[in-house]
C-alpha cells in the first residue's frame, strides 16, 4: 500500500469520526462565530457607541427647540422632541441620543440632507422612575439641549377665572 493511499485512508477516517461526533472544522467555525457575535453584542450594549463614524472635518448636527412636559405621573409615557439640523453641505448620518440623568436611554442614527432640519421624537417610559426631578435632554456629538422632568403626583391646575364680555348700546 502506498503512502498516498494510507494518508487518504486516514483522512477519510478522521472525516467520518468528526462527522459522527458532530464536531469538525465547520462546527468549530460556527461556534467561534457565535462567541464572536455574542462578544460584539455585549460590547455594543455595554459601551453604547455610535455605530456611525464621527468625521471631525464635518460639523456636528445641531439641536434646538427641545419640547417636553415639565411633569408627569409615574407610569405615564412622555414624548420628548427636538429639532435636529445638518449644518454641512453634504448629506450625513449622525447619532442623536436621548439621555436621562446622563445615561443614554435611546440612540438612533439620523439622516439629513445638507442644511436640512427635522424634528425627532423619543417616547420615554416612566414606569421604573421613582418620584423626583430628573435632568434629561437630546444630544448630538457636540450639541444638546436639556430640561427637567418631575415625576410624581402632579398638582391640579388652578381653574381659570371666568370672563365675560359686555357690550353697551349708545
Domain ranges of the chain: 3-47, 62-151
Phi-psi region of 16 (alpha: psi -120 to 50; beta: other; left: phi over 0): alpha
The tens digit of pLDDT for each residue in 6-36 reads: 444 444 444 444 445 444 444 445 555 444 4
Whether 136 and 146 have beta carbons less than 8 Å apart is answered as yes
Q: What is residue 111's predicted lDDT score, i.e. its pLDDT?
A: 92
Could you give the CA distance from residue 119 to residue 66 in angstroms, rounded to a whole number?
A: 10
pTM metric for this prediction: 0.62
Closest by CA to 122, choosing from 82, 86, 79, is: 79
**Is the predicted pLDDT of residue 141 greater than 70, yes or no?**
yes
The CATH architecture assigned to 62-151 reads Sandwich (2.60)
Which of 31-35, 102-106, 151-155, 165-169 reaches the highest mean pLDDT? Answer: 102-106
Could you give the CA distance from residue 18 to residue 115 in angstroms, rounded to a whole number?
A: 60
Q: What is residue 164's predicted lDDT score, i.e. its pLDDT?
A: 65
**Is the predicted pLDDT of residue 40 greater than 50, yes or no?**
no
| Beta sheet of 117-124, edge-to-edge order | 62-67, 78-85, 117-124
- Share the mean pLDDT of the chain: 77
Higher-confidence residue: 19 or 102?
102
Average of per-residue pLDDT across 89-97? 93
**Is the predicted pLDDT of residue 55 greater than 60, yes or no?**
yes
Q: Which residues contact 19 (CB under 8 A, 6 or more apart)?
A: none
Q: Which residues contact 51 (CB under 8 A, 6 or more apart)?
A: 44, 95, 109
Amino acid at each position: 500500500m502506498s503512502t498516498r493511499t494510507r494518508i487518504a485512508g486516514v483522512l477519510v477516517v478522521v472525516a467520518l469520526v468528526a462527522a459522527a461526533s458532530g464536531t469538525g472544522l465547520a462546527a468549530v467555525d460556527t461556534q467561534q462565530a457565535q462567541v464572536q457575535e455574542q462578544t460584539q453584542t455585549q460590547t455594543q450594549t455595554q459601551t453604547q457607541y455610535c455605530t456611525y463614524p464621527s468625521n471631525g472635518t464635518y460639523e456636528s448636527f445641531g439641536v434646538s427647540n427641545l419640547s417636553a412636559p415639565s411633569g408627569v405621573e409615574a407610569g405615564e409615557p412622555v414624548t420628548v422632541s427636538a429639532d435636529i439640523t445638518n449644518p454641512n453641505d453634504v448629506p450625513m448620518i449622525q447619532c442623536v441620543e436621548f439621555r436621562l440623568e446622563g445615561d443614554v436611554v435611546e440612540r438612533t442614527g439620523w439622516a439629513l440632507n445638507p442644511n436640512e432640519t427635522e424634528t425627532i421624537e423619543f417616547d420615554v417610559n416612566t414606569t421604573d422612575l421613582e418620584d423626583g426631578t430628573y435632568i434629561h435632554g437630546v444630544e448630538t456629538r457636540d450639541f444638546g439641549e436639556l430640561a427637567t422632568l418631575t415625576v410624581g403626583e402632579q398638582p391640579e391646575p388652578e381653574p381659570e377665572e371666568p370672563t365675560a364680555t359686555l357690550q353697551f348700546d349708545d
